[in-house]
Structure 1
Amino acid sequence: MTFRFPPEFLWGAATSAHQIEGSLDADGRGESVWDVFARRPGAIEGGGDGSLASDSYRRWADDVELIAGLGLNAYRFSVGWSRIVPDGRGRVEKRGLDHYERLVDALLDRGVTPVLTLNHWDMPQALMAGGGWVARSSVDAFAEFTTAVADRLADRVEWWVTQNEPWIIALLGYQLGLHAPGIRDLGASVAAGHHVMLAHGAGADVLRAHRGVRAGVALSLFPCDPATPSAEDAAAAWGSDGYVNRWYLDPLAGRGYPDDMREHYERALGRELTEIRDGDEAAIAGRSDFLGVNYYTRRVMAAAPAGDARPFPWQVAGPSGDVARTDEGWEIAPDSFRDLLLRLHRDYPFPLLVTENGGVFGDAPLHDGRVRDTRRQSFLRGHVRAMGEAMAAGADVRGYLHWSLLDNFEWSLGYRPRFGLVHVDYPSGRRTVKDSGRLYARMIAAGTADVEESEDA
């Protein structure tokens, strides 16, 4: 049956500052950890960096017109932390705040709801002198940054995401070293992830001093399924769920960090988790007015072989076989998206905002200028339908923000992966709305995924 989304539903797209802005030396911006990381040989596929990105710091007004032209009524963007507090602490750069104020006002003038993210991975490099997120002082630095942005924009911005994907920051930035700042230390990753969560609580406390503000955190959530019906693989899937999902969901919901995962960490590290102090879990709990859901795919898990050297007794085993995949090899699994939303509705007491959902598809403009990205269209339609099914079954989902508005700088993968509803020709900056963007516009106008194919599709 066709599901009709409510009139107040937020339909939008998402970006992040470092991935689209470029102009790294403009208006007093300080260095971020990604500026420094990108200079490491081999750190970025193709050897690129964020100095150009999608050139949106200069082309922001054009991008607002794109947003309005697609009929979006919401836009998630992030504020570049190092644009606002170039030295990490202390001095606030007014020119950076002026830029984001212009963006917010232009969105509001066009009836577009701003969804503002504070930290989308671009911590000022100056804070690395004290250890970055490994240092507890990072929590105070983030609260000061939040205060500077909120004092300027909280009278106009209702939806605030404090932190984007704490697990990815901890995993790729501090455990595996594949993202900035490039640290490879399990203990450092535990401390970093915990301090990001503490910073969410501190930032939410700052934001809630302003009337009418909603504060949330965006989590990268991956349903974890066993590779076989065996008890061993079921235990592996549950352990993976603790590592990826429950370690962040439970403290937000006031349950503290899950005991089973704490035991896994302490066994792997050979020590107690002294980073988590008395009162910390209480400082995280009860500070989320909504939960941001970033969903891309699921994890199929198996028990690790006996004697394996990995820190936890599980491994990613699939999916295997002939399944639909993005160009990055990720399984396209909209049913898992539906099930995730229903699980969150059942187990965690938050209104939900889908803050990211998308896939890598490398379609380029053809001879007629059109980008006929049929696979992204199928992806989009399937996931919006799945979201509608979850809402029909009771899930409290307030909006859907597709990742992403624009093709952009995709972190350590450079400029190869293309996630955008809008194609970007990086040398010229030219924007071309893909057929998926046209489909999304029709879905928004109709309030349902079940729209007919366009005659010119």
Structure 2
Amino acid sequence: MAKLTFPEDFEWGAATASYQIEGAANEDGKGESIWDRFSHQKGNITNNDTGDVACDHYHRYQEDIELMRKIGLDSYRFSISWPRIIPAGSGKINQKGIDFYKRLVNELLKTGIKPAATLYHWDLPQKLQDKGGWENRDTAKYFNEYAQLMYKELGDLVPRWITHNEPFVVSMVGNLFGEHAPGNQDHQKALQVAHNLLLSHGMAVESFRESGIEGEIGITLNLAPVYANSENKKDQIAKDYSDAFNNRWFLDPVFKGEYPEKLMALYQKEFNQPFELETGDLEIISRDIDFLGINYYSRALVEYDESKLLNFKTVKPEASNYTAMDWEVYPQGLTDLLLSLDDQYTKKPIFITENGAAYDDQIAEDGNVHDDKRVDYLEKHFRAAQQAVEKGVNLKGYYLWSLMDNFEWAYGYNKRFGIIYIDYDNGQNRILKDSAKMYSKVIENNYIKA
């Protein structure tokens, strides 16, 4: 049997996010987040679901860590709830919130699992949103103060830190498309939010260096390699704009200290002053990071559309397979993306901080969950990742999304990404899916069949 082997020090993990799994929305001094507010407004979420209880991980974290041990995870990526730590976003600190994450991290370490902490996975304190949220430059300052507190409290326990998860989604999906909290639909607002998010990232990296704690820090960007639907010149223009909007608007400032010139020129023509950019901002944003985290789910196939501001629209190829999210299954895109990042942006370590698929999982008559499509999806993406390693990409680890089924943002509990099934109707019972058993073998062997 031919084997595709991973490097000896390759790390296998799984990822979650605070609002999606913790529950305990109003317990132990936690403040309200924008997702608490957004999910309680009727019509925003499928079935009017909320994250009030979610997977009840706040109370069941020990049980969940035992399942991580059973699967064999090397590392666990979780996010810290800012309003659980500082309920108003600035000012008074909630010690009970800090204590929860200390218990979580110590339990992980005791079990031999490396903690990887994300400082921001979308649950902004509502009190800061009331003051303008990420559109307000002061929020970057408050985020930096929160980051400094977490380094102080957990810096000796957590070896890997991620400042932000998917600033594209926070800025564009939350403030341009209006599908996520806070639900705005304003292009200039979205651009200002994106800039302030990146600014806060750079400030938090600087604070990490100044803290003197050991460990590594980076950022997680959701990236999709862009392909033109044809060779014609207009579709190539569409490809360039799509790549600039989805990928380079975040990659370029972090690695090159600049925004994509062509897109910036278009925004300046459209909006005159697209967003507030102060002298020195880009220098802060491009502070040296230790690694890049990437979230990959699918590719973007685009064609020219002159009716759009950015001249592109996405195309859905009919012959492809799709997940329950209606995302095309395209493993080659992961290899292409990793090679492109290695070639154009960084030789530093890269971690796949999310990759996975939602399917309509059911409990079978034998009491198990046979998620064959997810098994196939994951195996193909493991091969795609290994291909990139073989070609010289400095890929250091892979975090599967997600450890467990959870509150899938605007979709509520309607979409299941987990390798652990959560039986919401039966006491939140946890069941290891076939994909978890497959993943366990991959981790144990450190290879995938060719």
Preserved CA contact (<8 Å) 1:341 1:390: yes
- For 1:455, the equivalent position in structure 2 comes to none
Preserved CA contact (<8 Å) 2:116 2:162: yes
Residue identity matched to 1:379: Y
Preserved CA contact (<8 Å) 2:80 2:101: yes
Deviation at 1:274, TM superposition (A): 4.2
Following superposition of structure 1 onto structure 2, how do residues 363-378 of structure 1 map, counting pairs within 5 Å?
Answer: 363-378=361-376
C-alpha separation between the residues in 1 aligned to 2:161 and 2:145?
Answer: 15
- For 1:433, the equivalent position in structure 2 comes to 432
Worse overlay, 255-264 or 371-380? 255-264
Preserved CA contact (<8 Å) 1:54 1:429: yes
* Runs of 4 or more consecutive aligned structure 1 residues displaced over 4 Å after TM superposition: none
Aligned: 1:424 with 2:422: yes
Match of 1:400 among 395, 398, 401: 398
Residue identity matched to 2:356: G
Aligned: 1:79 with 2:80: yes
Deviation at 1:139, TM superposition (A): 0.5
Match of 1:361 among 355, 359, 362: 359
Match of 1:344 among 341, 355, 377: 341
C-alpha separation between the residues in 2 aligned to 1:336 and 1:110?
Answer: 35
Preserved CA contact (<8 Å) 2:191 2:275: no
- For 1:246, the equivalent position in structure 2 comes to 248
Structure 1 286/80 Cα, relative in aligned 2: closer, same or farther at 3 Å? same
Residue identity matched to 1:35: D
- For 2:265, the equivalent position in structure 1 comes to 263
Preserved CA contact (<8 Å) 1:254 1:282: no
Deviation at 1:352, TM superposition (A): 0.3
Following superposition of structure 1 onto structure 2, how do residues 280-299 of structure 1 map, counting pairs within 5 Å?
Answer: 280-299=281-300
When the two chains are superposed, the root-mean-square deviation of aligned CA atoms in Å is 1.1
Aligned: 1:389 with 2:387: yes
Deviation at 1:55, TM superposition (A): 0.8
Q: Structure 1, residues 75-134: CA drift from partner, whole Å, max 9, x if none?
A: 000001110010111111110010001111111111111110000000000001220000
**Structure 2 gap ranges (5+):** none
C-alpha separation between the residues in 1 aligned to 2:194 and 2:351?
Answer: 22
Match of 1:228 among 208, 219, 230: 230
Preserved CA contact (<8 Å) 1:443 1:450: no
- For 1:380, the equivalent position in structure 2 comes to 378
Deviation at 1:286, TM superposition (A): 2.7
Residue identity matched to 1:385: R
Preserved CA contact (<8 Å) 1:268 1:312: no
Preserved CA contact (<8 Å) 1:19 1:410: yes
C-alpha separation between the residues in 2 aligned to 1:293 and 1:2?
Answer: 25
- For 1:191, the equivalent position in structure 2 comes to 192
Match of 1:334 among 308, 331, 335: 331
- For 1:161, the equivalent position in structure 2 comes to 162
Preserved CA contact (<8 Å) 2:293 2:353: yes
Preserved CA contact (<8 Å) 2:206 2:287: no
C-alpha separation between the residues in 1 aligned to 2:151 and 2:212?
Answer: 8
TM-score norm. by structure 2 comes to: 0.97
Deviation at 1:353, TM superposition (A): 0.6
- For 1:454, the equivalent position in structure 2 comes to none
Match of 2:215 among 193, 213, 216: 213
C-alpha separation between the residues in 2 aligned to 1:210 and 1:118?
Answer: 18
Residue identity matched to 1:432: I
Deviation at 1:212, TM superposition (A): 1.6
Deviation at 1:7, TM superposition (A): 2.2
C-alpha separation between the residues in 2 aligned to 1:210 and 1:360?
Answer: 40
- For 2:130, the equivalent position in structure 1 comes to 129
C-alpha separation between the residues in 1 aligned to 2:143 and 2:268?
Answer: 28
Preserved CA contact (<8 Å) 1:215 1:287: no
Worse overlay, 398-407 or 32-41? 32-41
* DSSP-derived class of the 1:253 partner: helix
Q: Structure 1, residues 298-319: CA drift from partner, whole Å, max 9, x if none?
A: 11111114xx2x322111122x
Preserved CA contact (<8 Å) 1:3 1:392: no
- For 1:314, the equivalent position in structure 2 comes to 312
Preserved CA contact (<8 Å) 1:254 1:286: no
Preserved CA contact (<8 Å) 1:107 1:113: yes
C-alpha separation between the residues in 2 aligned to 1:183 and 1:369?
Answer: 43
Deviation at 1:449, TM superposition (A): 1.4
- For 1:143, the equivalent position in structure 2 comes to 144
Deviation at 1:2, TM superposition (A): 2.8
Residue identity matched to 1:159: R
Residue identity matched to 1:397: L
* DSSP-derived class of the 2:12 partner: strand
Preserved CA contact (<8 Å) 2:188 2:275: no
* DSSP-derived class of the 2:163 partner: strand
Residue identity matched to 1:199: S
TM-score norm. by structure 1 comes to: 0.96
Residue identity matched to 2:97: G
Residue identity matched to 2:432: V
Q: Structure 1, residues 396-450: CA drift from partner, whole Å, max 9, x if none?
A: 0110000000000000111010000000011311000000000000001110111
- For 2:442, the equivalent position in structure 1 comes to 443
C-alpha separation between the residues in 1 aligned to 2:267 and 2:51?
Answer: 34
**Structure 1 gap ranges (5+):** 452-457
C-alpha separation between the residues in 2 aligned to 1:366 and 1:264?
Answer: 53
C-alpha separation between the residues in 2 aligned to 1:2 and 1:235?
Answer: 41
- Identity %, equivalent residues: 37
Preserved CA contact (<8 Å) 1:219 1:294: yes
Q: Structure 1, residues 355-411: CA drift from partner, whole Å, max 9, x if none?
A: 000111111110111111000000110001100000000000110000000000000
